[in-house]
Structure 1
Amino acid sequence: MQKFSASQIYLFMTFMMSLAASTIFTTYSIYYVMELRLNPLQLVLIGTVLEVTVLVFEGITGVVADTYSRKLSVIIGMFVLGMAFVLEGSIVWIMQPATLLPAFGWLLISQMLYGIGWTFFSGSDTAWIVDELEEGQTGQLFMRSKMFGLTASLLGIAVSVGLSIIAPNLPFLAGGAIYFLLGLILIRYMKETGFTRRERTPHSSPLRELGRTWASGASILRRHPLLLMLAVVTLFSGAASEGYDRLWPVYLMNDIGFPAGAVSMATVFGAISAVTALLGLLAVHLAGRMLDLNKERTAAAALFLLTLARAGCILLLALASDFYVAVSAVLILGVVGSVTEPVYTTWLNTKLPARNRATLLSMISQTDALGQSAGGPAVGYIGSRISIRASLLSAGILLLPVIALYGKVLRKSR
């Protein structure tokens, strides 16, 4: 039986998850806006339900990964994600006969499942692969995994556009099926050799063991100012991203408008995603060659500049009146996000102790969920009461504290 290394499994997992995500989310706004008829506030509220679910379950699932098994946590996450997206894609069929629960209600249930599945996966995958690799190998692997993910996104974009033209809900069903398939493959081929399960004390219940792991992680977080600062960064960054991520497609459709003679909306969004992925591939490749992520000052400087560019592009998008200017801002934001993710992941994981890594990653992810669940409704309310343009402006302003904090880290690293 052929053996696969941990790095190969991680890259394959990244490829498949990116394929599923791009299949679902390239044209998701068409399904939400045109088929399910969601308004701007509802668009943000479904994200809020997702993030509140993450906020509640993230700490629990992170502790499970640190206490019992990171492999088990990842695999559970794959199957729950599959169920969430299959349900979401089936809403349009569930609505056909009269049901007591409206489409928005079913959508909220699917978002709760999405959040639970994501928390089982979030943090567990990086905690697993960092344990399996030797020190100093993670930076290059995270850069490679991002390139694998972007390559898979190109394939997923084509699948999403093709399926959406047939029926807007089909990308959700296909993406859910990919998650189910990935879960089955990981059961067979994912190995876990670097993780040591915690020794249970005599007469200790599983619930008490989970509590001990969480308390240990919380103690580490309190004692390290840098980790607390990263939590604050994640809080504001999450608040800004929720408004932008949910509203930019409907902003292009309703406020900016498509050029005369433009092809179908599915094709336009597919083209935007494809160009973003191609530019992201180039940017990540160049960043991998130019940046030495083992140097703290290099990583801090990169994060400062990338966040500055992100805030500037969100404000440019909000102030744009021309379709091509708005799309240019969206493209640059996508490229910035592609480079930021592996840089931040590498920098963060180098500062976390292995024994509590998944728990601490979950705690930091909880601050992101808190930021999105608190900031998202506020940004969505602004969009419903004033305009989506005003919502995007507020999202860009929310990034200013993040820029200031990264600047502080950069000054201290001199």
Structure 2
Amino acid sequence: MKQLRASQVYIIMMFVTALANSTMFTTYAIYYVTELGLTPFQLVLIGTVLELAVLVFEGITGVVADTYSRRMSVIIGMLVMGIGFVLEGSVIWIVEWSTLLPVFIWMLIAQLFFGIGATFVSGAETAWIVDEIGEDKVGTLFMRSQRLALFAALIGIGLSVGFSTLAPNLPYIIGGMFYVGLGIFLLVYMKETNFAPQQKEAHVSPLQAMADTWMSGIKVVRRQPLLIMLIVVTIFIGAASEGYDRLRETFLINEIGFPQHIPFSMAVWFGILSAVSTILGLVAVRVMEQKLDMSDKRAVTAAMLLLFAARIGALISIALSTSFVWAMIGLLLISVIGILSHPVYNTWLNMNMESKTRATVLSMVSQADAFGQTAGGPVIGWVGSRFSLRASFILAGVFIMPVLVVLRRFISSNPRE
């Protein structure tokens, strides 16, 4: 059996997850809003349950990755998420067979699978690849994998529109199957050669060993001001993102509407939006690869500052939009900013972490994101339901503003040599 290099396995992992996510999430609003009839507040509550699962389980699963195996953690996570997505797509059939639980409760159960599975993967996959290829090469790999993942997303957009036309729940079924297939693939091809499980005394229980790893991660964070700053930044980013991510499609469907003179279905419009944003993202990532030195900590931080400032502007623009074209431009801008931010943010996180506790610290950062989304998401959702979705987008922009202050101070305290 042909062996694959760690970088190849990582790229395949990112490609398939991007394909699965694009297949599911391009047209998910049609399934959620028009088929299942979920309200804006219910949409945000679904996201809140997801983030609560992350908040509770992230620390446990991150420690499992550092104490026992990053490979094992990633594989478990892929399989659990796959099961959750298949369940989510099957909800509409389940409630037809049995009225024991309402649709909303089944969706919450599916989100628990999603959240728990995501915590097994979160941090572990990054810690694994950094250890396998080294910190000096990982920034370039993140950019390359992001570019290839965008190509996968384009394929997934077509699949999503096609399957959604057949049945609104099919994209979730297919996406879940992609995740299960990826878990099986990783079971065969993913190797772990540069990670040694933390040694523990013979009398130390597994729970005590994980607790020791967790405490080591806390000590790493406490003695590095940058990591404390990362966690603070992530809380505000999470608070801003949850409401917008859950409500943007509802905003288009209920408040802006689609052009009536163009005979496209809702699925096609969402496909066009996703395809255009992905193509623009490909161009933007290519330009950033050429212009940004991903090994320069100060340059990476400055890039993050610019990206988040642009995100605030785009959120305010969407809130003020009065036409479909105006709203589409704002949505496309935020999407491209998100595409660029992912590899930059991941590189920034990994520049100041020790290998032995990398997955644990990354899990702490993910918990900070989950805490921000759990605390901020319902507030933004309530504002959207009580006042308007436009007000919720403005509030999301306000939540990001403290991030700019923190990043600006970091740049000022680290002058260019």
- Of the structure 1 ranges 195-204 and 354-363, higher mean CA displacement relative to structure 2 is found in 195-204
Deviation per CA, 1:268-294: give whole Å up to 9, x if none.
Answer: 000000011111011111101110011
Give the structure 2 partner of residue 350 of structure 1: 351
Q: How do residues 164-313 of structure 1 correspond to structure 2 at under 5 angstroms?
A: 164-262=164-262, 263-313=264-314
Partner secondary structure for residue 99 of structure 1? coil
**Cα shift at 1:261:** 2.3
**Cα shift at 1:97:** 3.1
**Cα shift at 1:406:** 1.0
Decide whether the 8 Å contact of 2:135 with 2:351 is kept in 1. Answer: no
Q: How do residues 73-84 of structure 1 correspond to structure 2 at under 5 angstroms?
A: 73-84=73-84
Give the structure 2 partner of residue 360 of structure 1: 361
Partner secondary structure for residue 398 of structure 1? helix
Give the structure 1 partner of residue 133 of structure 2: 133
- Sort the Cα spacing of 1:380 and 1:135 in 2 relative to 1 into closer, same or farther, 3 A: closer
TM-score normalised by length of structure 2: 0.98
Decide whether the 8 Å contact of 1:240 with 1:399 is kept in 2. Answer: yes
Give the structure 1 partner of residue 53 of structure 2: 53
CA distance in 1, matches of 2:56, 2:386: 29
CA distance in 2, matches of 1:413, 1:243: 33
Give the structure 2 partner of residue 413 of structure 1: 414
Decide whether the 8 Å contact of 2:297 with 2:351 is kept in 1. Answer: no
**Cα shift at 1:255:** 0.6
Deviation per CA, 1:327-376: give whole Å up to 9, x if none.
Answer: 00111111111111101111110111101000000000000000001100
Letter in 2 for 1:380: G
CA distance in 2, matches of 1:122, 1:148: 20
Give the structure 2 partner of residue 332 of structure 1: 333
CA distance in 2, matches of 1:81, 1:61: 14
Give the structure 2 partner of residue 95 of structure 1: 95
Decide whether the 8 Å contact of 1:23 with 1:160 is kept in 2. Answer: yes
Letter in 2 for 1:216: S
CA distance in 2, matches of 1:98, 1:60: 34
Partner secondary structure for residue 319 of structure 2? helix
Tell me the number of residue pairs that the alignment of Structure 1 and Structure 2 aligns.
414
Deviation per CA, 1:195-233: give whole Å up to 9, x if none.
Answer: 011112121111110100001101111121111111010
Letter in 2 for 1:78: M
**Cα shift at 1:98:** 4.0
Partner secondary structure for residue 258 of structure 1? coil
CA distance in 2, matches of 1:316, 1:274: 21
Give the structure 2 partner of residue 28 of structure 1: 28
Please say if 1:399 is aligned against 2:389: no
Please say if 1:385 is aligned against 2:386: yes
CA distance in 2, matches of 1:392, 1:173: 31
CA distance in 2, matches of 1:289, 1:227: 28
| Identity across matched positions, percent | 54
CA distance in 1, matches of 2:46, 2:194: 37
Deviation per CA, 1:50-90: give whole Å up to 9, x if none.
Answer: 00000000000000000000000000001000100000000
Decide whether the 8 Å contact of 1:232 with 1:367 is kept in 2. Answer: yes
Deviation per CA, 1:84-113: give whole Å up to 9, x if none.
Answer: 000000000011134221000000000011
CA distance in 2, matches of 1:187, 1:127: 17
CA distance in 2, matches of 1:124, 1:407: 30
Structure 1 runs of 4+ aligned residues shifted over 4 Å read none
Give the structure 2 partner of residue 68 of structure 1: 68
Letter in 1 for 2:295: N
CA distance in 2, matches of 1:385, 1:344: 33
Give the structure 1 partner of residue 144 of structure 2: 144
Letter in 2 for 1:276: S
CA distance in 2, matches of 1:290, 1:59: 36
CA distance in 2, matches of 1:314, 1:413: 30
Letter in 2 for 1:279: L
**Cα shift at 1:134:** 3.0
Please say if 1:374 is aligned against 2:375: yes
Decide whether the 8 Å contact of 1:313 with 1:329 is kept in 2. Answer: yes
Letter in 1 for 2:171: P
CA distance in 2, matches of 1:99, 1:223: 53
CA distance in 2, matches of 1:204, 1:138: 34
- Of the structure 1 ranges 218-227 and 141-150, higher mean CA displacement relative to structure 2 is found in 218-227
Partner secondary structure for residue 97 of structure 2? coil
TM-score normalised by length of structure 1: 0.99
Decide whether the 8 Å contact of 1:296 with 1:413 is kept in 2. Answer: no
Q: Which runs of 5+ in 1 are unaligned?
A: none
Decide whether the 8 Å contact of 2:75 with 2:187 is kept in 1. Answer: yes
Give the structure 2 partner of residue 118 of structure 1: 118
CA distance in 1, matches of 2:212, 2:390: 46
